[in-house]
Structure formats: C-alpha cells, structure tokens
Amino acid sequence: MHKELLSSTPLFLLLSCHTPAYTPIVMCNLVFQATGQLKGTVESSEMLLSGKAGIMPLPSGTSAYFLAQ
C-alpha cells in the first residue's frame, strides 16, 4: 500500500479483499503499516454471504479499517 494515497491526517481507511490468502490478521497488519504512526483503532473482520435460514454462511473475503481518534 502506498502511504502517499493518504492525507497527512486521515479520518479513516477501509480495505477489502476477496483473495483467500488475505486473512483478517493480514489485512489488519496492512492497515496498521499504513497508519501505524497515527492515533486510532485498527480492526478487521471476515465478510460472509448469508443465505436462507439453515444455510451456512459462505466466506467472501476480509476487510480491515482504521478509525482516527
């Protein structure tokens, strides 16, 4: 990721990825690398496709975000 894409004081950053090898932890690390010197929180999660009742969710990717304090 290129830090040049961020302003000097970003309010937030959201990344999403649909490549299976990019786990929530990997995505969180990428966001932290881009925003590590800034004050805020970084969180990640797995994105899921949900179906009808009784059908198990299907993984569809991961996401991570930074939210400035």
**pLDDT tens readout for residues 27-69:** 999 998 888 778 999 999 999 999 899 999 999 999 999 999 8
Q: What are the backbone angles phi and psi of residue 7, rounded to the nearest 5°? A: -70, 170
Strands of 58-68's sheet, edge to edge? 12-17, 58-68, 40-49
The answer to whether the pTM exceeds 0.95 is no
C-alpha–C-alpha distance, residues 11 and 65, integer Å: 11
16 in Cβ contact with 61 (< 8 Å): yes
Q: Is the pLDDT of residue 9 over 70?
A: yes
- Listed by start position, the domains of the chain span 12-50+57-68
What pLDDT, on the 0 to 100 scale, is given for residue 21?
87
Residue 37 has a CB neighbour count (10 Å cut-off) of 6
